[in-house]
Amino acid sequence: MCGIVGVVSNAPVNQLLYDALLLLQHRGQDAAGIVTLLERKFFMHKAKGMVRDVFRTRNMRGLPGNIGLGQVRYPTAGNAYSEEEAQPFYVNAPFGIVLVHNGNLTNAHALRAELFSTDHRHTNTESDSEVLLNVLAHELDRATRGGLLNSATVFEAVRSMQRRLRGSYAVVALIAGHGLLAFRDPYGIRPLAMGRGADGTVMVASESVALEGSGHVFERNIAPGEAVFIDLQGQVHAEQCADAPSLNPCIFEFVYLARPDSVLDGISVYQARLNLGETLAKRVVSTVPPNEIDVIIPIPESSRPSATQLAHLLGIPYREGFVKNRYVGRTFIMPGQGVRKKSVRQKLNVIASEFKGRNVLLVDDSIVRGTTSREIVQMARDAGARKVYLASAAPPVRYPNVYGIDMPTKDELVAHDRTVEQIREVIGCDALIYQDVDAMKRAIGSLNPKLDGFDASCFDGVYVTGDIDTEAITRMNGSRPRIEETEEDSSRLALPNLS
């Protein structure tokens, strides 16, 4: 999961790109980068860190031009510590291309071999995004055959790419001297939206909040398999480039990843989370009698809408019991379990009066590794809670995700090969209530009947691209971010094996 943005304007775009990346910061906190284009020259600055730390005044001054793109990175393949793998990526031929990518290629290993042996192109990092860039460069070269580039040849190249690529990808690329290209995988797994400003500026971004928060009007989502080419005059050309597109967005975007004020593929993220709270209420009642719950407390931030709706339907007081330190990053997307656990108590502090002597129902958006949940349950007990129940607005995460979310190995998932009772013992709560998979799909899918389905692979084990098996997952795990942990960190975080 990353956040990407591209802009074509008749005025300098460096500040606009910076502002949009700030609005997408929740999608990646590992690294940030911006490229602008002036005439035929690219200007780039990228580094590890948050947007506000990567870009200083001197860096912004070095990014001239009326067209550009940017990314906030959250690594799911390659080396998480390598500055070289911060995006955008650049290749000089043909034309000169820079690219940012949100998603994960499931056939990157095979493509890398093809690039070397057949396409005669070199990749210098372990990033699947560099592979994607070189496939695009090769197909653009073939489509233009050494001649001129126009929207027709761009779409021909994207059609050829769609036949080669597997996995999830939302992409924005700049082609020197020509314009900006954006396209999305045939299943629409990762989001991509387009909007316009009053001055004619055209922007594409991962979430609608980046458009609206930077003064643009949301126009539409880029469709699965569709390519959009915006020339230097701001003219928008669009064409469907996939053979059999279908809309199956990642359901985890609505559960956790996206901002609640975004609308993705016609679905309000906030309303989706309210709906999850409504269906969760039925599960809670069947597990814990409401008269045994004194208070409902969300685990900030993403669970608040679900917890609010749950409390309303059950007629139980809703209280804020945790105060979040906003200057500590999201633990889910932090590289390394050691960093995640250490940051939990730095990130959250309890309001003891809301816990003391009470039976508390904690509500979280999801439970992935279980490390954070266990820490939070213990914090509630330390604050004096009599009983601690835990409800998840999402079903058990039982399967690896291969489409760009950092849950790639089954051994890291607390729910894999465990019963709910075994998970409850690991986490240490008095009762554990999970959302139902089908109920989750209905609750969110009802908000847009035009969807063909969801990628809910981490919950149901069904991979929409149809090319994933145990061998493929094992191969992809070999290219996941390399995170070094101390022996102390690893031993401290080992979960009991209850399977």
At 333 the pLDDT is 47
% of the chain beyond a pLDDT of 90: 82
- As a whole number, mean pLDDT of residues 440-468 equals 96
At 1 the pLDDT is 79
Question: 135-184 pLDDT, tens per residue?
Answer: 999 999 999 997 899 999 999 999 999 999 999 999 999 999 999 999 99
Supply the DSSP symbol for 256.
I
CA quadruple 43, 237, 103, 304: dihedral sign: positive
Question: 243-287 pLDDT, tens per residue?
Answer: 999 999 999 999 999 999 999 999 999 999 999 999 999 999 999
Alpha-carbon radius of gyration of the chain: 23
Q: Which two tokens stand for residue 434?
A: 């999970």
Question: 300-336 pLDDT, tens per residue?
Answer: 989 999 999 999 999 999 999 999 887 765 544 444 5
Global pTM? 0.90
Residue with tokens 């730390």: 53
Residue 291 class from Cβ within 10 Å (0-12 exposed, 13-18 middle, 19+ buried)? exposed
Question: 35-76 pLDDT, tens per residue?
Answer: 999 999 999 999 999 999 999 999 999 999 999 999 999 866
Catalytic residues: 2
User: Taking a C-beta distance cutoff of 8 angstroms, is the pair 472, 108 a contact?
Assistant: no
Phi and psi of 69, rounded to 5°? -150, 165
At 485 the pLDDT is 33
> Could you count the other beta carbons within 10 Å of the beta carbon of residue 85?
24
Residue, of 469 and 304, whose pLDDT is higher: 304
At 329 the pLDDT is 54
Q: How many residues does the chain have?
A: 499
SS3 state at 292: helix
Q: Biggest alpha carbon distance in the chain?
A: 76
